[in-house]
Amino acid sequence: MLSVGLVGARGHTGKELVAILSRRSDMRLAFASSRAMAGEPVTKLAPQAREDLIFEAMGPEDVAARGADAVILALPNGEAAPYVAAIDKAAPGTIIVDLSADYRFDEKWIYGLPELYGREPLKGATRIANPGCYATAGQLCVHPVRDLLSGPAHLFGVSGYSGAGTTPSRKNDVEALRDNLMPYSLTGHLHEREMSRHLDHEVRFCPHVAAFFRGITLTAQLSFAAPVTLDTLKSRYEAAYGPEPLIRLSDAIPEIRDGQDVPGAVVGGWAVGEGGGYGTVVCALDNLLKGAAVQAVQNLALAAGLEELGGIA
């Protein structure tokens, strides 16, 4: 039984992580940290949790001292380092899966997107950086056709407001979002750099946030170096994702609803423009699931040599 500590457990992704971990027979949630909900039962947030599990306010040293086999960090960006440092010092063999962007550019960490970068590097890994939500959708769109592209891929993303976490901001203010679509970070979004780096191909990315709670659609506009047929385009995705249990291919254009509350991603809606010089592909997924919690547990299971999709699908 793998004991797993969860830091940042009362957030949007934390809640999903509690639910998935509670469904696994080979992992046990050893502790769940939250300052705001300290002393309250975890079932208050996630009814699937063990009844005796109580939220605890825990600093980095408290977390490291508990000696869990694995720790999942679901903290806002920029907060992971003290936890990693404390674990490095007290229990360096602990598996850490970090959901934030803090280690996605660190060569010493494994970037865990198993469908694209393989399962092998994750086996036995102890430092795993979980990809961003848009970044997962964007890379699923671009990776199978990278070698066909001329110039950057242009990605248009729309996310539900849970993507902006629970700290109040305009991007999760339902009043500001009502009957609205909010573009932001028009150049240089962190996921633009993340995708370009891991794809080893430049992308341009424009995020938007809307009034629904969860889900992402990512529309990828691709320019081809030589004319491409619809069959060729589609066959690239079939070859890449055919055997992948968490990737569903769809001729119909994926919409937000196709990706909400499902563990995996839907990729498809392929279209090729006149002359075959350009094309479009769409991905829909749940930002809290394949965009965060599902991928984290998938990565953790692969690292620990456990069944990849237990509690997930």
Active centre residues (catalytic) = 133
Q: Residue 74 CB, nearest distance to ligand NDP (Å)?
A: 4
Say whether 3 sits in a helix, a strand or coil.
strand
Phi-psi region of 276 (alpha: psi -120 to 50; beta: other; left: phi over 0): left
Options 116-124, 145-153, 159-167, 249-257: segment touching ligand X2W (CB under 6 A): 159-167
Give strand pairing partners of 216.
159, 285
**Which one of ligand X2W, ligand NDP, none is in contact with 190 (Cβ closer than 5 to 8 A by kind)?**
ligand X2W
Distance CA 288, CA 234 (A): 27
Q: Residue 81 CB, nearest distance to ligand X2W (Å)?
A: 15
> The dihedral of CA 292, 197, 112, 223: what is its sign?
positive
Name which of residues 77 to 136 contact ligand NDP (CB under 6 A).
77, 79, 99-100, 132-133
Options 51-59, 158-166, 197-205, 253-261: segment touching ligand X2W (CB under 6 A): 158-166
Are 195 and 142 within 8 A, CB to CB? yes
Task: Using CB under 6 A, pick the residue from 112, 207, 291, 311 that binds ligand NDP.
Answer: 291
Q: Residue 101 CB, nearest distance to ligand X2W (Å)?
A: 4
| Residue 292 near ligand NDP by CB under 6 A | yes
Task: Using CB under 6 A, pick the residue from 95, 153, 209, 247 that binds ligand X2W.
Answer: 209
Whats the size of the chain, residue-wise? 313
Distance CA 262, CA 39 (A): 31
E runs forming strands in 167-313:
181-183, 203-210, 216-223, 247-250, 265-272, 278-285
In the complex with ligand X2W, which residue's Cβ is closer, 54 or 295?
295
Task: Note the helical H segments in 110-255.
Answer: 114-117, 133-142, 174-177, 190-199, 230-241
Task: Using CB under 6 A, pick the residue from 22, 34, 100, 217 that binds ligand X2W.
Answer: 100
> Which H or E element spans position 265?
strand 265-272
Residue 154: which of 282, 56, 270, 53 has the closest Cα? 282
From first CA to last CA, the distance across the chain in angstroms is 20
| Residue 259 near ligand NDP by CB under 6 A | no
| Residue 207 near ligand X2W by CB under 6 A | yes
Nearest-5° Cα angle at 92, 287 to 102:
35
| Residue 75 near ligand NDP by CB under 6 A | yes
Name which of residues 139 to 178 contact ligand NDP (CB under 6 A).
162-163, 165-167
Residue 67: CA count within 13 A, CB half-sphere:
0
**Which one of ligand NDP, ligand X2W, none is in contact with 235 (Cβ closer than 5 to 8 A by kind)?**
none
Task: Using CB under 6 A, pick the residue from 288, 289, 294, 302 that binds ligand NDP.
Answer: 288
Task: Using CB under 6 A, pick the residue from 76, 152, 277, 310 that binds ligand NDP.
Answer: 76
Residue 17: which of 136, 107, 130 has the closest Cα? 130
Q: Which residues bind ligand NDP (CB under 6 A)?
A: 8-14, 34-37, 74-77, 79, 99-100, 132-133, 162-163, 165-167, 287-288, 291-292
Which residues would be at the binding site for ligand X2W (CB under 6 A)? Answer: 77, 100-101, 132-133, 159, 163-164, 171, 190-191, 207, 209
